[in-house]
A and B are shown apart, each in its own frame.
Chain A
Amino acid sequence: MCNKQPWMNCRVAGWCAALMMLALPLAAETVAPPADEPAPVLDEEVQDLKAQVLNLNHELFLLEEELLFPANTQVAVFLSMDIGEYFDLDSVQLKLDGKKVSNYLYTKREVSALHRGGVHQLFLGNVKTGEHELVAVFTGLGPQGRQYRRGASLNFKKDIGAKFVELQITDREIKQQPEFFVREWE
């Protein structure tokens, strides 16, 4: 083998290999942390790494949202509840231009969060610019615990720029009935 490669002196190559064999354990010793290094340092590093991963995940989520739902075509529908004493929300079905885009079941915990002022993003999608029709059907229990199903609709014009629509459930004290509104965010 050595004779076939005249550009390399076999003796030199042998010395190099021997030196490398000697150097490897030394390198490993210098890289390995000392055994008596305090554990909290490592713990802090792990926490830092975790925080970096979370930040990266958040940035990726934003990037994904920007790519999948660009502002020019984006439409988002939110649901909020004001008091909601006369209506126990069960589900909301959403139709956009006659096509069912969401059918969301609300759990007790989610309804409780809405009562405490939470706003739920019910739908996020893309539509072309122009006229569109949004229909929301609310199902739940109405006054005196009766099955209650009501619809509300909105015709809106999608321009360039994101469109935000809010579905709102409120109480009408005079009639002692719930009311359902659909409105665009300015």
Chain B
Amino acid sequence: MDNGSQGTSGIARGGAYVAMLLCLFLAWPASAGRNLEGEAAPDFALKSLAGANERLSEHQGSVVVLTIWNVRCGDCREQLLQLNALQTQYGAQGLQVISVNIDKHLHRVEETTRDMQLDFPVLLDMKKRVAKLYDPDKLPFTVMIDPAGTVRHVHQGYAGKDSLIYTAELESLLADFGPLTDQG
């Protein structure tokens, strides 16, 4: 075999490597966050702002909306108010909202939530253990969990229009796992 054909095969091999690397790069997920949809929601226990310990798995049997947030995030505060309205509207039908705050300073969380009069527990994750379990890309990070404990919907961030999506998803989940009563 002559030198020319050896050179050609070398170029071809190099090309194959480049193509393989390109394929790997393209196949790599664009986001580092975990895709939790369809998986069992990772369980945890945390102390709540009210003082009691709460464990996620103890809410199996209810549709759970879990949101991870911090006080500097304006969208998070807006979302908490919307979740509070949803808790009031659908609480009797089996909805339980749980919020996990990841700030280091307790007084900031207390100041932020004082005027909101939230009807759901605010859990404190100062060491970010739960945040590591759920690996959010953007706050607020929200997961909707069905009564069997499986993650059904995941939302990164929050915009005003998301409230309609949340309502539709929750109504669908509540309808799947227990008939909705007439809201009148």
Interface size class of B (residues with CB under 8 A): under 10
Contacts of B54 in A (CB 8 A): 107
Is B55 in the interface zone, CB < 8 Å from A? yes
Complex-state Cα separation, A107 to B55, whole angstroms: 7
Is A11 in the interface zone, CB < 8 Å from B? no
Most chain A beta carbons < 10 A, residue from B45, B52, B53, B55: B53
Task: List residues of A (89-142) whose CB comes within 8 Å of B's CBs.
Answer: 90-91, 104-110
Q: Which of A90, A91, A104, A107 contacts B58 (CB 8 A)?
A: A107
Contacts of B58 in A (CB 8 A): 107, 109
Complex-state Cα separation, A58 to B101, whole angstroms: 36
Complex-state Cα separation, A110 to B55, whole angstroms: 10
What 1/0 mask marks residues of chain B from 45 to 61 whose CB sits below 8 Å from any chain A CB? 11100001111001000
Interface size class of A (residues with CB under 8 A): under 10
Contacts of A104 in B (CB 8 A): 45
Q: Smallest Cβ distance from A79 to chain B, in angstroms?
A: 14
Complex-state Cα separation, A28 to B69, whole angstroms: 56
Contacts of B47 in A (CB 8 A): 105
Contacts of B45 in A (CB 8 A): 104-105, 107
Contacts of A105 in B (CB 8 A): 45-47, 53, 55
Complex-state Cα separation, A107 to B54, whole angstroms: 6
Complex-state Cα separation, A152 to B164, whole angstroms: 54
Which residue in chain B gives the minimum CB-CB distance to A106? B53
Contacts of A109 in B (CB 8 A): 55, 58
Task: List residues of B (24-66) whose CB comes within 8 Å of A's CBs.
Answer: 45-47, 52-55, 58
Complex-state Cα separation, A156 to B58, whole angstroms: 35
Q: Smallest Cβ distance from A147 to chain B, in angstroms?
A: 12
Residues of B in contact with A (beta carbons under 8 Å apart): 45-47, 52-55, 58
A-B pairs, top 7 by smallest CB distance, nearest first, are A105-B45, A105-B53, A107-B53, A107-B55, A109-B58, A107-B58, A106-B53
Other than the given A105-B45, A107-B53, 9 more pairs (CB < 8 A) read A90-B53, A91-B53, A105-B47, A105-B53, A106-B53, A107-B45, A107-B54, A107-B55, A109-B55
Task: Return 17 A-B CB contacts under 8 Å, by A number.
Answer: A91-B53, A104-B45, A105-B45, A105-B47, A105-B53, A105-B55, A107-B45, A107-B52, A107-B53, A107-B54, A107-B55, A107-B58, A108-B52, A108-B53, A109-B55, A109-B58, A110-B55
